[in-house]
Amino acid sequence: QITLKESGPTLVKPTQTLTLTCTFSGFSLSTSGVGVGWIRQPPGKALEWLALIYWNDDKRYSPSLKSRLTITKDTSKNQVVLTMTNMDPVDTATYYCAHSGGSYSEGYFDYWGQGTLVTVSS
């Protein structure tokens, strides 16, 4: 049974750096083909893909946010960490982590965490 859970601050101030942790179970990030991604959703708005990391440490980032994002993994702890710099109120959103299944080039998110709401406000 695959489960994922996001953790991190619920409130950050503008210009601060956000650090979110995804802790998962039921799969290993050392298994070929496996990936974990981050997706966010501002209140009342659409889903937006942020980043993806694979078992081989290949990393992909949303082109529009690439300069602000870093994704890393700790295979021994079954965790993936996303950092986003220079937070702004428009970054207020629910942040989800998800397991990436399917092919390496067209992986899709088949298992999702419950999401964590991050508010950016002074």
Binding residues for another protein, rule: CB under 8 A, are 37, 39, 46-49, 52, 60, 62-64, 96, 102, 105-110, 112-115
Residue 41 CB, nearest distance to another protein (Å)?
8
Of 91 and 113, CB closest to another protein: 113
User: How many Cβ atoms sit within 10 Å of the Cβ of residue 109?
Assistant: 21
Alpha helices in 10-67 (DSSP H): none
Strands 69-74 and 79-84: antiparallel
User: How many Cβ atoms sit within 10 Å of the Cβ of residue 7?
Assistant: 13
Q: How far is CA 100 from CA 19, 25, 61, 108, 114, in A?
A: 21, 13, 14, 5, 15
Of 16 and 60, CB closest to another protein: 60
Of 105 and 122, CB closest to another protein: 105
H-run or E-run covering 46 = none
Residue 49 CB, nearest distance to another protein (Å)?
4
Residue 95 CB, nearest distance to another protein (Å)?
11
Residue 87 CB, nearest distance to another protein (Å)?
21
